[in-house]
Amino acid sequence: MRIGLLGYGVVGAGVDHLAQRLEGVSVEKVLCLNVGDVPGGRGVADISAIIDDPEIDTVVEAMGGLHPAWEFASGALKAGKHYITANKALVSAFLPELVELAKENGVALRCTAAVGGGIPWLVNIERCRRVDSIRRIHGIFNGTTNFILDAMHRDGAEFERVLAQAQKLGYAEADPSADIDGDDVRRKLVISTAAAFGKLIRESDVPMFGIRTVTAQDVLNFKALGKVCKLIARAESGEKIKASVEPVLIPAGAPESAVPENFNLVTYESENAGVQSFFGQGAGRYPTAYNVVQDCLDVCGGKNDFYTKQYVAAEVDNRDVLRCYYVRTSASDAWLQSVAATQGDGYIVTRAVSQADFHAHVRELQSRDHRLFFAAVE
């Protein structure tokens, strides 16, 4: 396999380093802004140097973002080159188009590192679906938010202080919005739903709420309720998909409650195998690069399907999902009071309500209280 590598940052350099150890796999050219950073004179400044090179059979992308990643991906696939990426934003936004281009040109499309970093989540879904039917997926899909929530529960610190610590350690970006607001998790859930159920859902249809507004006082309230807060992604199969990304208050003895630092724990439930969970780091140079290189080896071995052979478009419908919610808000709201089951100091816990109705109402309520926080209660 002769690789054209796009990007030479943390993950790209890790891919290059791991590939050097493998027989029959070589990184021939590297597209990056500073071509002098690439050892061996392999740096190039123009994507055409990779796409138009007939000797390069595989393009590996480690850049991120939607553009020019989409233009590079579509160009590489049209040129008959396998495409391997760690870019969850690209795959989530353009999954139908990417799958179709790969099929039309008889090449592989793989993105194992885009969901879970170092956890081989997608390939285990793929393996399960060969003989089984997956009914639901759920878990902790983001190491940054888990690090923040874990530290707040352990140390009683405020969100802003722990976020700054996560940024100092390299767990959070300078702009952490994609992590703390839930976009990163939602993208991973969209990709996982396609692999697990063969259903293509739109990002914008999945209700999402992050952890940006959680406070140390909220954490004290959670502890008083015997709960631990985690940002959880969930999807359930059916004619219409039930899917969401939101903070969840989990009983202190549940497996997810004990997940420490920047680790992930993701689970699928299938008809025959039952519950299977996967634990590991969700980010970092070598955990992510490891799965990129594993994808390269899978393609070398002839694996060309995108984790499952068939996909159909599907809607998200959470109207029948009933959940209780912890809500802390300074705004007066008659609807919340009408569904309150218990009331604490500055917060309420609702009775079971439709998840779709609750998210719709909270979106309106946020315009009156931008510091509002809520979490589903299990």
Residue 336 C-beta-side C-alpha neighbours within 13 Å: 24
pLDDT in tens, 244-270: 999 999 999 999 999 999 999 999 999
The whole model's pTM is what?
0.92
Q: Which domains does the chain have, with CATH numbers?
A: 2-110 (3.40.50.720), 123-280 (3.30.360.10), 318-378 (no CATH)
User: What average pLDDT does this structure show over 302-317?
Assistant: 87
User: What average pLDDT does this structure show over 50-59?
Assistant: 98
pLDDT in tens, 86-113: 999 999 999 989 999 999 999 999 999 9
Which residues are known to be catalytic?
Answer: 188
Angle ∠(211,112,239) on CA atoms, nearest 5: 70
Quickly count helices (H) and strands (E) in the chain.
13, 18
Indicate the DSSP class of residue 82.
Answer: E
Give SS3 for 101.
helix
Q: Token match 């802390």: residue?
A: 328
**Token code pair at residue 65:** 């973002």
Using an 8 Å Cβ cutoff, are 73 and 98 in contact?
yes
Mean pLDDT, rounded, of the chain: 94
Q: What is the pLDDT of residue 282?
A: 65
User: What average pLDDT does this structure show over 212-216?
Assistant: 98
Q: Cβ atoms within 10 A of the Cβ of 238, count?
A: 14
User: What average pLDDT does this structure show over 205-234?
Assistant: 98
Give the span between the Cα atoms of 330 and 328, in whole angstroms.
7
* Cα 358 from chain centroid (whole Å): 23
Q: What is the pLDDT of residue 111?
A: 94
52-56, 199-203, 286-290, 319-323: which has the minimum mean pLDDT?
286-290
Residue 310, burial from CB neighbour count under 10 angstroms (0-12, 13-18, 19+):
exposed
Q: What is the pLDDT of residue 26?
A: 96
Using an 8 Å Cβ cutoff, are 257 and 228 in contact?
yes
Q: What is the pLDDT of residue 220?
A: 97
Indicate the DSSP class of residue 344.
Answer: -
Long-range contacts of 213-216 (CB under 8 A, 24+ apart): 213/159, 213/370, 213/371, 213/372, 213/373, 214/149, 214/152, 214/159, 214/247, 214/373, 215/158, 215/159, 215/328, 215/373, 216/152, 216/156, 216/157, 216/158, 216/159
pLDDT at residue 47 is higher than 70: yes
pLDDT at residue 285 is higher than 80: no
Using CA atoms, how far residue 78 sits from 265, 341, 372, in Å, is 36, 57, 47
Give the span between the Cα atoms of 91 and 100, in whole angstroms.
12
pLDDT at residue 29 is higher than 80: yes
pLDDT at residue 122 is higher than 80: yes
Q: What is the pLDDT of residue 304?
A: 80
Q: What is the pLDDT of residue 320?
A: 97
CA dihedral defined by 138, 285, 24, 35, rounded to 10 degrees? 130
Give SS3 for 112.
helix
pLDDT at residue 283 is higher than 70: no
Q: What is the pLDDT of residue 226?
A: 96
For residue 170, name the pLDDT band (cuts at 50, 70, 90): confident
